[in-house]
Amino acid sequence: MEDTRDFKISMEINQNQARVIKDALELYSRLQMGQIKEIDLFFRLRSKERMDYDRNMMDHLLETIKRMYFPDLSSNGFYGIFGDKTPEEAKIAWDLIQNMRYTISWKIHPEGGMGVNFDSPLKSSNEEFPTVKIIPECPE
């Protein structure tokens, strides 16, 4: 039986672990919004070898999967992160991604920069907005 009491969890992770978590949450969130083609993009971007496959077959397969799970969406359509049809879990994941991306980007580039990484995160879920903190380096 699941414990229904509310409590907080803190984790200490390194940059590489944070990147993996962020990438996993982003794929999870995008898939729930109907962005099924992200599956192919995910594997192509991470492959160290040349991906040799029939693009038309892949597109047909991904489109078939999308029609099965998202029959109301067009081929290029997907639910928006703030939309009513977007599952709450996708929104929670997106809030986590935004906060991680924002906090890490400002740590690496304190001078700031262009792009969404430096924009203040916008809350999309009904959950409390997550807090992401950078742990100061300890002197050796």
At residue 52, the pLDDT reads 75
Residue 44 lies in a domain: yes
Q: Which domain holds residue 70?
A: 20-118
Tally of CB atoms within 10 A around 25: 19
At residue 54, the pLDDT reads 83
The dihedral built from the CA positions of residue 64, 26, 29 and 113, taken in this order, carries a sign that is negative
Number of domains in the chain: 1
At residue 46, the pLDDT reads 76
Smallest Cα–Cα separation from 81: which of 21, 19, 28, 23? 28
Residue 45 contacts residue 38 (beta carbons within 8 Å) = no
> Mind listing the pLDDT tens digit of every residue in the chain (140 residues)?
677 778 888 889 999 999 999 999 999 999 999 999 999 998 888 777 777 778 899 999 999 999 999 999 999 999 999 999 999 999 999 999 999 999 999 999 999 998 889 999 999 999 999 999 998 876 65
Backbone angles phi, psi at 88, to 5 degrees: -55, -35
Residue 6 lies in a domain: no
Residue 12 lies in a domain: no
At residue 138, the pLDDT reads 61
Residue 3 lies in a domain: no
Residue 123 lies in a domain: no
Residue 135 lies in a domain: no
At residue 88, the pLDDT reads 97
